[in-house]
Amino acid sequence: MSNNGKLDFLISPEKYFPPDVKRGSLLNNEAFILAVERYLDALSESQYWPSSRIEEFQTLRLRKFTGLIEKKSQFWSQYFHRYGFYPEKAALEDLRNLPVLNRKMLLELGDKTYIRNDSMNLPTFSYYSSGTTGVSLKHFYSEREILINYGVFLFRHPALEKFSIGKLLSRKSFVVLGMPGFKHVFEKDFFYKNFPFIRSQDLDNSDLRKEIYASIRGAAPAFLVGYGSLLAKLAEWIIEDNVQLPIFAVRTTSEPISTTERETIRQITDGPVINMLSGNGVGYIGFECQNNQGCFHINSETNIMEIVNDDRVLPEDGDEGELVITSFAYTLNPVVRYAHNDVGRIFSNSCKCGRTLPLFKFHGRRGYEIVLPSGRKVRMMYLHRLHSNVLMGDARLGRLAKQFQIIQNRIDNLLLLIVPRQKISEAEEMKIRLAITELFNGEKINIEMRCVDVIPNGRGHKPSFFVPLSEFQKRKL
């Protein structure tokens, strides 16, 4: 494909996919597989293009996308003009004319933001998000649009570039623990087996593990996907059971994993352990850089990311703020300056891996913070460091416990739940208390510690390391 051809592919990928793409028809679909491979080939080059060229085709995609939804929707036409945004001549910075939309605002707008399907003539499907933030949203998609984007960006990762995606899409290779969002898209075609309601403690059941092992062998070589804590627990049991399994890659979803957990997972496969950031309504936002663990490259070919604090766009290398996403991918359910509810920052420096896609880091949900008696807040990034570097990252403490959860149940009290592997000594308990207390800068908060057999999953059957006071009060835990 010529350079101009690749640029056209990136601006209008839908032109290069078969018109009848739909769920249930993708397995071993040669036309679909060829289009996916060509798209990935274009992406493998664009990730090294100069920033000016990336911004050039982002501008073209922005004009095309907003022009289409302006034409098809009276709501979006009036919305754009109300705020002085004109698709036909829009520049990237013009997006800042538009308000940031959060979940509450989208719920109030209701179906107004959707494009009527009869104006687009596309097969559709919808589902509701898991509600991990307390608000479940309906998502409405063209099957073709979501398959084009999920079918490509799920495999847009440096560690997968050496694998044959064609072979992967010619068989049912996924074994999945939990309910990651991509099940709505790929389950019919590519899931060999899904264990949707599995909990960490369920893996102590040898019969269930045997069923999982049999599924991995049946899908050989298997692509193992699941919530991070479930995969770490499964990896421990695979090592304990002394079994060898044909796992060619592992992808963790929905929660951060510690260095210790990552290394445990690495012991069960010779392939990569992959981490990506995705979101309901947005798709795949970015992929973790192999040279900068914990940092992610933005999928700039299909997204624009801003970091916003109190409606003010923050500069690169500025303070942390909320991730705000505009996606070019979905026309029936447009995502224009959507507050993703994750906190992070964008870096301006070039990445040592050589990719020119912007680099960002995120630390978890907005509002997921410890509120101190003075009103000061301990942000999620510090809780993430506590989890990764101390509770699960410390060589000794990581071996002591299978799982931790911090619950703020009062303004002056934290409850630390521990699923122990062995008895915790007074010295080790003191080390944990001191590590948590250091976050408070001298403020007094009581820390309860309780050893339990099971830590229940949170909203949407997802594990949760931290339960903030606001969620505790809502859920009346």
Q: What is the pLDDT of residues 411-468, one digit of tens each?
A: 999 999 988 888 888 888 888 888 888 888 788 899 999 999 888 766 555 567 788 8
Residue 375 inside a domain? The answer is yes
What the block records as the tokens of 250 is: 């592992």
Dihedral in degrees, nearest 10, Cα atoms 471, 400, 453, 383: 0
Sites in the chain below the pLDDT cut of 70: 117-122, 128-137, 255-256, 311, 315-318, 364-367, 379-382, 384-385, 387-399, 457-463, 475-477
3-state secondary structure of 319: coil
Burial of 156 (0-12, 13-18, 19+ CB in 10 A): buried
Which pLDDT belongs to residue 133?
45
3-state secondary structure of 225: strand
Residue 465 inside a domain? The answer is yes
Q: Which domain holds residue 398?
A: 370-475
Residue 385 inside a domain? The answer is yes
Residue 215 inside a domain? The answer is no
What the block records as the tokens of 325 is: 């996403």
Q: pTM to 2 decimals?
A: 0.80
Q: How many CB atoms lie within 10 A of CB 326?
A: 23
Which pLDDT belongs to residue 60?
96
Residue 433 inside a domain? The answer is yes
Which pLDDT belongs to residue 135?
47
Question: How far apart (Å, rounded) are the C-alpha atoms in residues 183 and 176?
Answer: 9
Burial of 14 (0-12, 13-18, 19+ CB in 10 A): middle
Residue 420 inside a domain? The answer is yes
Residue 353 inside a domain? The answer is no
Helix (H) or strand (E) holding 126: strand 124-128
Domain count for the chain, please give it.
1
| CATH code, domain with 420 | 3.30.300
Residue 214 inside a domain? The answer is no
